[in-house]
């Protein structure tokens, strides 16, 4: 795949910014920008946004289904957000964890996740950057009706929980054909919240399909969202990594998500 170098990227950014009159912004600024606004995720005043996790990969296959776009989380010095519906063929670029990126598109928050979609420009500005660690949080911090900016869009670590429920998929995680499934995660103090396996939207979730649902303690790596239906808002944790506790000495997280188990969802993303 074609890789743009830094100089080419900066020139392209200058042209686009001049044509669109959109100012470079960091995650904190984009978080408060009205939906539907053209935004440029560049954070020129601080560190460039760095890819922290690949949520779904264009071309990944689950059964007869092929995922048509790539989604990722990117973080800068002020916060983190999701960039979705990336067509790698269009941009000639396959993003990797640790890449610095330039992204311009529409501010499209979804389920209180700050997101950029309908990309008009997208390219790497650097590669091999230090990747920020996941934010360590608890169920009470995540199980809220309104996500604070310090949580929304961040890669999150949730430790020492158990997974239950899932109906007919209580023992085996579903594949793409099985559809999305809700589980319950519970901590040692009895706090619980929804854990949603979003196989219809993320290749990482479908890759987990057919694997056993752990019966003991696990650590989860993922992100938080809030699903609202009428007057009811439900916080949901979506995991990209499920790690048994205690962790095996040789087990670690790979750049594209969890080494052991990967899972994702978005109801309106294919």
| Separation of alpha carbons 113 and 151, rounded Å | 9
**Does 183 share its domain with 111?**
no
**Does 147 share its domain with 248?**
yes
| Separation of alpha carbons 169 and 267, rounded Å | 19
Residue 172: CATH number of its domain: 2.40.50
**Does 249 share its domain with 139?**
yes
pLDDT tens track for 249-259: 544 444 344 43
Q: How far is CA 256 from the centre of its chain?
A: 10
- For residue 267, is it within any domain? no
**Does 87 share its domain with 193?**
no
What global pTM score does this model have? 0.83
pLDDT tens track for 81-107: 999 999 999 999 999 999 999 999 999
Number of domains in the chain: 2
| Separation of alpha carbons 212 and 231, rounded Å | 35
Query: What pLDDT is attached to residue 256?
Result: 40
Q: Which residues form the domain of 68?
A: 6-126
- For residue 90, is it within any domain? yes
**Does 211 share its domain with 141?**
yes
Residue 73: CATH number of its domain: 2.40.50.200
Any residues with CB less than 8 A from the CB of 196 and at least 6 apart, and which? 180, 181, 182, 183, 236, 237, 238, 265
Q: Of 69, 80, 104, give the one whose Cα is nearest residue 201.
A: 69
For the chain, helix (H) and strand (E) counts, in that order, are: 5, 17
Query: What pLDDT is attached to residue 140?
Result: 98
pLDDT tens track for 193-229: 999 988 888 888 788 888 999 999 999 999 999 999 9
Domain final residue, candidates 126, 158, 173 = 126
Domain final residue, candidates 126, 144, 165 = 126
**Does 55 share its domain with 143?**
no
Structure tokens at 170: 């209580």
**Apex 230 CA angle, 226 and 234, nearest 5:** 25
Residue 247 pLDDT grade (very low, low, confident, very high; cuts 50, 70, 90): low
pLDDT tens track for 164-183: 999 999 999 888 999 999 99
């Amino acid at each position: 795949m074609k890789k743009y170098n830094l100089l080419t990227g900066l020139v392209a950014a200058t042209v686009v910014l001049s044509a669109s009159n959109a100012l470079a912004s960091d995650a904190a600024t984009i978080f408060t920008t009205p939906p539907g606004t053209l935004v440029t995720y560049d954070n020129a005043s601080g560190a460039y946004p760095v890819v922290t996790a690949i949520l779904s990969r264009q071309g990944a296959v689950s059964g007869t289904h092929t995922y048509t776009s790539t989604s990722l989380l990117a973080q800068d010095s002020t916060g983190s957000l999701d960039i979705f519906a990336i067509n790698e063929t269009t941009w000639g670029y396959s993003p990797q964890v640790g890449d610095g990126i330039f992204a311009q598109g529409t501010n499209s928050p979804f389920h209180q996740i700050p997101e950029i979609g309908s990309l008009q420009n997208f390219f790497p500005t650097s590669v091999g950057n230090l990747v920020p660690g996941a934010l360590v949080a608890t169920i009470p911090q995540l199980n809220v009706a309104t996500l604070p900016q310090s949580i929304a869009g961040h890669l999150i670590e949730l430790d020492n929980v158990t997974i239950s429920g899932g109906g007919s998929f209580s023992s085996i995680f579903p594949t793409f054909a099985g559809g999305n499934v809700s589980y319950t995660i519970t901590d040692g103090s009895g706090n619980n919240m929804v854990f949603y396996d979003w196989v219809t939207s993320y290749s990482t979730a479908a890759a987990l399909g057919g694997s056993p649902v752990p019966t003991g303690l696990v650590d989860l790596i993922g992100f938080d969202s809030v699903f609202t239906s009428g007057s009811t808002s439900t916080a949901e944790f979506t995991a990209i990594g499920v790690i048994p506790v205690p962790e095996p000495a040789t087990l670690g997280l790979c750049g594209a998500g969890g080494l052991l188990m990967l899972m994702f969802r978005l109801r309106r993303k294919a």
